[in-house]
Amino acid sequence: MRVGVVTFPGSLDDHDAQRAVELAGGEAVPLWHGDTDLGGVDAVVLPGGFSYGDYLRCGAIARFAPVMDVLVPAARGGLPVLGICNGFQVLCESHLLPGALVRNDHQQFACVDQRLRIERVDTAWTGDFAQDEEVTIVLKNGEGAFMADEHTLDALEGEGRVVARYLGPNPNGSRRAIAGISNERGNIVGLMPHPEHCVEEGYGPGLDGLPFFTSVLRAVVDA
């Protein structure tokens, strides 16, 4: 099972995402922002970081990278894609997912071990979770508050596309405490927290991030 991990200039958690894929039992395939094909991978992770320095808007410049020209149609065609943090921002800027991520309401970067509830388990990336399972995943960002108009938020809730929600006090002012969403089909997931930092005992808070990466391996086999 081959999972591509895209490196943009300024990607930071690409190495971590590759390690998570390997620990889950997959083969991590590095993809470069300038690539014009996806090398036949079975799924793609857009990792966290500050692509192009996050200047202008987070994800706004990465969206125009050559690799996105091939990734966007592939994702629309059903390729499993997980955008983590900056990757989520890229997915929103690319209009593969609705809404936007804006500056945290407390105006600071925050790195915390965050409690979440997994609310949708029929996506390509969450199949190995139990419905409404509560997990602890690293959350670290400056612009992580999910924002969309009320109509869009109602639609996301109504269609069951809220994948993960923050528990406890809202950490960043995210609308309806949304931590992650999916497209209708469930192959594309955007997630603000960082599951790739929760895959190895002793390095990060537990192993709750691993199921995101095992799920996709199973989803690809089943597909």
Q: Which residues bind another protein (CB under 8 A)?
A: 9-10, 12-13, 15-16, 19, 49-50, 52-56, 61, 64, 108-112, 138, 140, 142, 194, 196-197, 199-204
Burial string for 57-91 (b: 16+ CB within 10 Å, else e) reads ebbbbbbebebbebbbebbeeebbbbbbbbbbbbb
The conformation of residue 119, written as its DSSP 8-state character, comes to -
- Distance between CA atoms of 38 and 149, rounded to whole angstroms? 33
Tokens for 172, please give them: 């960043």
How near is the Cβ of 74 to another protein at its closest, in Å?
Answer: 21
Q: Which of 92, 196, 197, 198 is catalytic?
A: 196
Clarify whether 159 is annotated catalytic.
no
| In the complex, least distance from residue 2 CB atom to another protein, rounded to whole angstroms | 21
Q: Of 12 and 147, which has the nearer Cβ to another protein?
A: 12
184 is catalytic: no
Q: Pick the closer one to another protein by CB: 141 or 183.
A: 141
Residue keyed to tokens 């109602």: 154
Judge whether 58 counts as a catalytic residue.
Answer: no
User: Closest separation between CB of residue 200 and another protein, Å?
Assistant: 7
Please identify which of the residues 85, 119, 143, 198 carries the catalytic annotation. 85
Question: 123 or 141, CB closer to another protein?
Answer: 141
34's CB contacts (< 8 A; 6+ apart) are 65, 66, 67
- Cα gap 122→131, rounded to integer Å: 9
Could you tell me the smallest distance in angstroms from the CB atom of residue 120 to another protein?
25
Active site residues: 85, 194, 196
